Structure 1
Amino acid sequence: MVAAVAILVVLAARLGARPFLDGLAHTDPRGLAVALVVTAATTACCARRWSLLTTGLGVPVPFRDAYRSCYRAQLVNATLPGGVLGDLHRGYRRGRQAGALGRGLRSVVWDRASGQVVQAGLVVAVVPLLPGAVRGWVLGVLGVLVALGVLALATAAPLRREAAAALDGVWPEVLLLSALAAGGHVLVFLVAARTVGVEVGTGPLVALALLVLLASAIPASVAGWGPREGAAAWVFGATGLGAASGVEVAVVYGVMSLVATLPGLLTLEGGPAWVSGRTSS
């Protein structure tokens, strides 16, 4: 939280309040409608992925319940500090109901990790479309993260066994679902950029979107704000589009994403016990 607030303070000090205010002003109903529809689809992808992984881990969640829980988690992530409390909650509830708290929590870790691994792979694929000033940094950071991940799996046999169990027979579908979910988020980002009036080719803009969205997954935000705006200012500035434009796009995207999670309010009451927080007798 301190890091996220520091990023926002630095951006405001360097760029002023105008990019933030302009971002709010450029948010329009059509963009919000697109975000609602696309997010309904990406949430379905994420819910299906989590349902597959929980089955392999022995704490299965039916797709319908997973869909409701993922929507609720997104709402909590978008409104509370950290950006991961909603996911922790769905893992905790699933684990408590199944009598396997550790596996329930780790199912969410594997769920998020699988999505971010695919997203990182997509960033690598679009590196040639990124500005030269950014490519080296991106490849360096991703290289370190890959090395750490490989080291963790190589030195921890339980992790390898659990990953194999979670992905056994379903890894192609998990990869596809993760790619579709990432594509949906990119689409919302493109709509935000075009709403602001960013004039750059679709290919380079997709590359920028993937990089910003990967940075936004860092669990050190204030309800999703901070790393996303910092990354957008950096990459847009390096591209020559202007750091202010990057912040403006990130603000529009943030508002669109927040509104798109509002269907999660429907899961707060009347849902399954492990979603609504009730326990069975």
Structure 2
Amino acid sequence: MSGTWLRWARVLVGAAIVVALLWRVGADPFLDALRRIDAVSLAAAFVIAVVTTVCCAWRWSLVSRGLGVAVPLRVAVRACYRSQFLNTTLPGGVIGDVHRGVRAGRDVGDVGRSLRAVAWERSAGQVVQLALAVGVLLVLSSPLRSVTAVVAVTVAGGVACAVLAALALSRGGRSWPARLARTVRADVRLGLLARRAWPGVLLASAVVVVGHALTFVIAVRTAGSTAPLTQVLPLALLALLAMSIPANVAGWGPREGVAAWSFGLVGLGAAQGVTAAVVYGVLAFVASLPGAAVLVAEGVARG
């Protein structure tokens, strides 16, 4: 029951953000976004998504091989497209990843290990995204520079404490925290930090972040903003970080809320931020449509 309430709470949070934005800026920014989208922006987003999806699949293939539940790259690309489509159409933003982890686990006979592989490759991507976002916010001129420095130090300290705690727990005998810590340490060592894995994981994650940021910049330009790239890029990375919060309605909610806040903070206007975020959401949905084709093809094959 608690899990069900938690899932509904995440959906309600995303819906509440959208409703609050409609009350604050009205429906015009949402409608303006739909009017401004053109074939050029859709085609650019689609091409970028091909690159980022292949990189996500490559990262997953590297991590899964290290954990002993290898997923061939060709299979991983199809699964990642399917996962992206489900994430952009279903509440929460993670159902697609759970689905591909379960499907791959059934194929190799180890669902638990397969789900861990998906979780670790997604976590690696989030860590790289956070590191790049912090770096950009610290380097480029932004009202958030001072806050970013504090957040960076706090996060680094928290990560260091977590690593030290995990190492200490892993030597704690046969208790469940000790077994969990040993599993985490083994997964990180074999799946992420292995010599044959970490360069590819790092490169793939960086390309994915750059691709998503470039798509958001395209969305900002499509929305009509002419702000310089040095001003837009930090805002794009902030909005992308908000998308990783699993409290949304088919991807909508935190992304639009953070975009409205950050665009307003730098003087571009909250309405402009909402329009850009909505354009990005539509571009991302169209770019994920090959995943729908994968689902249909799999259904026909099973039939």
In structure 1, C-alpha distance between the alignment counterparts of 2:187 and 2:163, rounded to whole Å: 10
Over 3 Å counting, the alpha-carbon distance change for 1:140 and 1:223 in structure 2 is farther
Partner of 1:46: 56
Amino acid at match of 2:213: V
TM-score, scaled to structure 1: 0.92
Q: 1:86 aligns with which of 92, 96, 110?
A: 96
Larger Rg: 2
Matched residue type, 1:93: R
Q: CA RMSD in A?
A: 1.9
- CA deviation vs aligned residue, 1:71-113 (integer Å, no higher than 9, x gap): 0000000000001100010011112222222111111111111
- Report the counterpart of residue 166 of structure 1 in structure 2: 191
State the partner residue of 2:280: 253
Is residue 114 from structure 1 mapped to residue 114 from structure 2 by the alignment? no
Change (3 A) 1:233 1:276: farther
Displacement of 1:217 after TM fit?
A: 1.2
Q: Residue 241 in 1 paired to residue 268 in 2?
A: yes
Q: Which of 21, 26, 30 is equivalent to 1:11?
A: 21
Moved more, 139-148 or 38-47: 139-148
SS, match of residue 268 in structure 1: helix
Contact 1:131 1:238 in 2 (8 A): no
Q: CA deviation at 1:131?
A: 2.5
Letter in 2 for 1:205: V
- Contact 1:190–1:206 (CA<8 Å) still a contact in 2? yes
TM-score (norm 2): 0.85
Q: CA deviation digits over 1:48-83, x for unaligned, max 9?
A: 000000000100000000000000000000000001
Asked if 1:194 is matched to 2:221, the reply is: yes
Aligned-partner Cα distance in 1 for 2:301–2:114 = 15
Instruction: Give the alignment partner of residue 140 of structure 2, picking from 129, 154, 159.
Output: 129
Cα offset, 1:154, TM superposition:
2.9
With over 3 angstroms needed to count, the CA separation of the structure-2 counterparts of 1:143 and 1:77, relative to structure 1, is: farther
**Do 2:41 and 2:218's aligned partners in 1 also have CA atoms closer than 8 Å?**
yes
2:4 aligns with none
Name the amino acid aligned to 2:187. Answer: E
Stretches of structure 2 that go unaligned for 5 or more consecutive residues are 1-10, 167-180
1:185 aligns with 2:196: no
Question: Is 2:76 the counterpart of 1:60?
Answer: no
Query: Is 1:25 aligned to residue 43 of structure 2?
Result: no
2:52 alignment partner AA: T
Q: Which runs of 5+ in 1 are unaligned?
A: none
Sort the Cα spacing of 1:240 and 1:27 in 2 relative to 1 into closer, same or farther, 3 A: same
SS in 2 for 1:126: helix
Residue equivalent to 1:204: 231
Structure 2 contact 141–230 (Cα < 8 Å) conserved:
no
The Cα of 1:27 is off from its aligned counterpart by 1.1
**Alignment size in residue pairs:** 274
Question: CA offsets, 1:88-144, max 9 Å, x none?
Answer: 100111122222221111111111111111111111111132522x23444444544
Cα gap change, 1:171 to 1:125, in 2 (>3 Å): same
Q: Is 1:73 the counterpart of 2:83 in the alignment?
A: yes
Q: Where does residue 245 of structure 2 map in the other structure?
A: 218
Distance (Å, rounded) in 2 between the aligned partners of 1:18 and 1:266: 32
Contact kept, 8 Å, 1:93 with 1:277, in 2: the verdict is no
In the alignment, the residues of structure 1 paired with residue 300 and residue 156 of structure 2 have an alpha-carbon distance, to the nearest angstrom, of: 37
**Percent identity over the alignment?**
50
Paired position in structure 1 for 2:254: 227
CA contact (8 A) 1:95 1:103 kept: yes
2:293 partner letter: L
